[in-house]
Each structure stands twice: as structure tokens, then as C-alpha cells.
Amino acid sequence: MRVVGYGYRMAVPPPPTMGKPRKIMKTAYELAMERLKKTAPVTKLTAAQKKEIAELESKCKAKIAERELFVQGELAKAVNKGDFEAIEQLEKQLSSDRKSLQADLEEKKEKVRHAGGRGSD
């Protein structure tokens, strides 16, 4: 009985890499991150910028909480009256207020980020 190739191929070592490191293929995520770094390099924030952004976020959360408390009080009044149109309008108003406060926050944060990059202007 004859076994073809068994043992022969196992004895042959893999071809040498000639001192070159083997290239490992990158994932799509890694490739995308490399492209992103080329088009929009990451800027490091200073401690002062981080502190200012944290203060802006804290103030925004406080404003949102204040609006929610006010609107919840108004909602309770509307529920007691049975005014469903007012309830719907108050919920829309609260949602709109949250969105506008968040947009305002993002705008202010961008100003802080860009102000740090031009510190010597």
C-alpha cells in the first residue's frame, strides 16, 4: 500500500521570510481610522479646555433639568384638567428645548476646541 505525499510535505519547512517581517492585513476599521487621521487630525485638548467643556456640559444639564421640572409641573396641571392637546404641546416643547440646548452646547464646545488650536494668534 502506497501513501502519496504523506510525510514528504510535512518534512519540508515553510519558506523563509528572508528577514522581512510578515505583513498582517489591517481591518476595515483600522484603515478607516488611518484615513480619518489624514483628513482630520486629532487635536489634544488642554486641561483648561477640558475644564471649560466640563463646565459647559454641567450648565447645559442644569438648564435641561430646570426645563424638565417646569414642564413636568405644567404637564401635571394639564393632566388634572384633561387637556390632551396641552399635554402633547408641552411634550413637543420639552423635546424642542432639549434639542436647542444640546445644539447650543455643541456649538460652544466647538468654539472652545478651536480656540485652543489658535492660542498664539
pLDDT band (50, 70, 90) for residue 121: very low
Q: Considering the chain, what percentage of its residues have pLDDT values greater than 90?
A: 49
Residue that has been written with the C-alpha cell 502506497 in this structure: 2
Q: For 26-60, what is each residue's pLDDT tens digit?
A: 899 999 988 888 887 777 888 999 999 999 999 99
Buried b (16+ CB within 10 A) or exposed e, 72-102: eebbeebeeeeeeeebeebeeebeebeeebe
Average pLDDT over residues 94-116: 91
Contacts of 108 (CB under 8 A, 6+ apart): 56
Using alpha carbons only, what angle is made at residue 77 by residues 71 and 78, rounded to the nearest 5 degrees?
A: 85
> Per the confidence metrics, is the pTM higher than 0.75?
no
What pLDDT does residue 29 have?
A: 92
| Residue appearing with cell numbers 479646555 | 49
More confident of the two residues 6 and 94: 94
